[in-house]
Amino acid sequence: MARREKKEVDSGAWLNTYADMVTLLLCFFVLLFAMSSIAEDKWKMIVGAFNPDATVLALIPGDDTGEDIPPIDGVDDPIVNSDVALEEMLLEIIEFLNENFTSDVTGFDGDGEIKADFVDGMLFMSFRDNIFFDGDRYYLRPEAMRILDYLGQALERVTEHVGEIRVVGHTTQKEADRLNNYEPDRRLAANRSVEVIVYLQNKDIIDPRKLVNVSYGQWYPVAPFDIEENRAKNRRVEILILQDEHVGRSMQEIYDVMGIEIYQVNY
């Protein structure tokens, strides 16, 4: 009777099963890792243990993109990114104004026809009324439209950092010892602030609910009413760009933060 040949046994077949098991375990641990949270200091220790020369990226709280995002130098809280965006926007606007209109853009401690600053999450610009309007009118001058066109372009890049754009209209008291007729006084200031807001809203770059116009008339002067030079300082339009957490601030609080002294009227 013929002998059967014995088949050779593949002694390495078990490796396939072992490899499958290791792969499944790796997937299991990756899943556990993905579901866990890592303390930043421990993460840095782990990376440093394997590679002392590695650059460790900070894990920004609240980031759900699955990627580690390097923070801006000196910035711990992500909200400060909004500060950087608005400050850069302000610098661009000041450069535009200096090149195209006037070289006299100052801070609020200066005496320019245009004043601008960024303090504590608030971008604040103040324009003398003659830059935006003629006489006692409230129709925007071509120069004002150019400024607002540029402001609109700058805003398009930072809309996610803007909680509110507040435009404030001011007049001046015509006589030092007597109040204006409050009705035309308020209407002029209101119409001017509305014109600016409507012009910005027509650009369709930001949620209209974030656009606010305010009329204070003669009631927030920054200079006395004694001479025309001082009265001219009071006739102004203010454009205030606020981050979300500052939306509820009153104008008096904002003036205090900006270092703007309001002239007190006593009768």
Q: What is the pLDDT of residues 238-253, one digit of tens each?
A: 999 999 999 999 999 9
- Residue 214: pLDDT band (50, 70, 90) is very high
- Residue 203: pLDDT band (50, 70, 90) is very high
Per the structure, the complete domain to which residue 244 belongs is given by 80-258
Q: Is 75 helix (H, G, I), strand (E, B) or coil?
A: coil
210: tokens are 């974030």
Give the angle 134-234-202 at the CA atoms, nearest 5°.
50
- What pLDDT, on the 0 to 100 scale, is given for residue 62? 39
Segment 101-113 mean pLDDT: 82
Give the angle 182-183-187 at the CA atoms, nearest 5°.
115
For residues 57 and 214, the model is more confident at: 214
Q: Are residues 41 and 125 in the same domain?
A: no
Q: Are residues 102 and 31 in the same domain?
A: no
Strand 105-106 versus strand 164-170 pairing type: unpaired
Asked if the model's pLDDT at residue 47 lies above 80, the reply is no
Q: Are residues 65 and 91 in the same domain?
A: no
Q: How far apart are CA 150 and CA 239, in angstroms?
A: 14
- What pLDDT, on the 0 to 100 scale, is given for residue 100? 87
For residues 109 and 89, the model is more confident at: 89
Asked if the model's pLDDT at residue 188 lies above 90, the reply is yes
End residue of a domain, out of 20, 40, 70: 70
Domain membership flag for residue 177: yes
Domain membership flag for residue 126: yes
- What pLDDT, on the 0 to 100 scale, is given for residue 112? 86
Asked if the model's pLDDT at residue 227 lies above 70, the reply is yes
- What pLDDT, on the 0 to 100 scale, is given for residue 4? 55
Q: Are residues 43 and 173 in the same domain?
A: no
130: tokens are 């003659």
The domain tally of the chain equals: 2
Asked if the model's pLDDT at residue 79 lies above 50, the reply is no
Q: Are residues 62 and 84 in the same domain?
A: no
Q: What percent of the chain has pLDDT over 90?
A: 57
Prediction pTM value: 0.68
For residues 25 and 131, the model is more confident at: 131
Q: Are residues 65 and 94 in the same domain?
A: no
Q: Chain-wide mean pLDDT for the chain?
A: 81
Q: Are residues 239 and 128 in the same domain?
A: yes
End residue of a domain, out of 43, 70, 97: 70
Q: Do residues 86 and 116 make contact, with C-beta atoms less than 8 angstroms apart? A: no
- Residue 81: pLDDT band (50, 70, 90) is confident
Residues 6 or more apart whose CB falls under 8 angstroms from that of 115 comprise: 105, 106, 107, 108, 125, 126
Asked if the model's pLDDT at residue 137 lies above 80, the reply is yes
